[in-house]
Copies of this chain bind each other. A is one copy, B any other.
Amino acid sequence: MEIRGADVGFIGLGVMGLSMAGHLRKAGARLHVYTRTKDKVLAFLNEGAVWHDSPGAVAAACKAVFTMVGYPKDVEEVYFGRAGILENARPGTLIVDTTTSRPDLARKIWEEARKRGLRALDAPVSGGDLGARNATLSIMVGGAEEDFLDAKPLLEAMGKTVVRQGPAGAGQYTKMVNQIVVAGNLIGTVEALIYAEKAGLDPRTVLESISTGAAASWQLSNMVPRMLDGNFEPGFFSKHYLKDLRIAVESARSMGADLPMLALAESLFDKMVDRGYAEKGTQALYLLYKNGIPR
């Protein structure tokens, strides 16, 4: 699909969505938008996006519609709700959910879309607010190959690594794979840091010895300095990570996968939210350990 001059919708203009929509506009799309709180995006509207009063109204005006909302229930609402996307999009419209959401919900959207002559992709992203701002996201796509190819120019305006992973739901499954790896890396990093401190080591000197060999990870190199600096600002909110872990646990269970580390991660992030770290970054897991993991 040619971006320049195309009517493209974006629903959900939070930190991620706002940056992503901005890239589509810079690439020449005519943007149509809806988000829960209009007041937060007035500046964006002034730069030339068309406001609509519902997801369905956005969809009715566009050839392609992107969504980036919060939780699976929000996804259900914008797709299946009153004045939702599915009921209002014109046949042939490409609908792309970039929210990290349930794989089974992605498949349900795809099936419903198909019945209505729409083309659905699930396309969750990783790379955080920085990746969204710099258009360096990794975008993991599920859906039909031809729909993926059609959407690719738009996805490539927002991300650097854009890969089709398989049929509907495969994008969400791949994002869950990503989050499971992150869980192990993050928990390993935190436990190692706690151990190092108890042992009287200087963690920064320890990093010199271990950060480039078999222990090397993005979490180790990027999160330990933040933990040591007392910087618990959200690169990624703990409450959102808990949402992802719950989706991963639930889908793993439904597939019969026994994943004890994932179960541990979910229980730790449950406690993170209980303890009031919901709005902190995932690196605040260090604080949970520091203060003693509640039983």
A residues with a Cβ closer than 8 A to B are: 103, 126-128, 131, 138, 140, 161, 163, 165-166, 169-170, 173-174, 176-189, 191-196, 198-202, 205-206, 208-210, 212-220, 222, 236, 248, 251-252, 255-262, 264, 268, 289, 292-293
CB of A177 within 8 A of CB of B205, answer no
Residue of B nearest to A184 (CB): B188
Q: How far is the CA of A122 from the CA of B188 in the complex (A)?
A: 24
CB of B191 within 8 A of CB of A180, answer yes
Q: Which of A169, A201, A255, A258 has the most CB of B within 10 A?
A: A201
CB of A201 within 8 A of CB of B138, answer no
Q: How far is the CB of A268 from chain B (nearest CB, A)?
A: 8
CB of B163 within 8 A of CB of A205, answer yes
CB of B259 within 8 A of CB of A195, answer yes
Contact with A258, one of B166, B177, B205, B289 (Cβ below 8 angstroms): B289
Q: How far is the CB of A2 from chain B (nearest CB, A)?
A: 25
Copies of the chain in the assembly: 2
Residue of B nearest to A169 (CB): B199
CB of A209 within 8 A of CB of B173, answer no
CB of A218 within 8 A of CB of B218, answer no
Residue of B nearest to A289 (CB): B258
Q: How far is the CA of A191 from the CA of B212 in the complex (A)?
A: 23
Q: How far is the CB of A155 from chain B (nearest CB, A)?
A: 12
CB of A174 within 8 A of CB of B210, answer yes
CB of A257 within 8 A of CB of B198, answer yes
Chain B contacts for A187, CB-based, 8 A: 184, 188, 261
CB of A126 within 8 A of CB of B191, answer no
Chain B contacts for A236, CB-based, 8 A: 214
Q: How far is the CB of A176 from chain B (nearest CB, A)?
A: 6
Q: How far is the CB of A189 from chain B (nearest CB, A)?
A: 6
Q: How far is the CB of A4 from chain B (nearest CB, A)?
A: 27
CB of B220 within 8 A of CB of A181, answer yes
CB of B201 within 8 A of CB of A174, answer yes
Contact with A163, one of B200, B209, B222, B261 (Cβ below 8 angstroms): B209
Q: How far is the CB of A250 from chain B (nearest CB, A)?
A: 12
Q: How far is the CA of A194 from the CA of B181 in the complex (A)?
A: 11
CB of B191 within 8 A of CB of A161, answer no
Q: How far is the CA of A199 from the CA of B216 in the complex (A)?
A: 27
Known contacts A161-B208, A198-B255; is-contact A181 B173 (Cβ 8 Å): no
Q: How far is the CB of A221 from chain B (nearest CB, A)?
A: 9
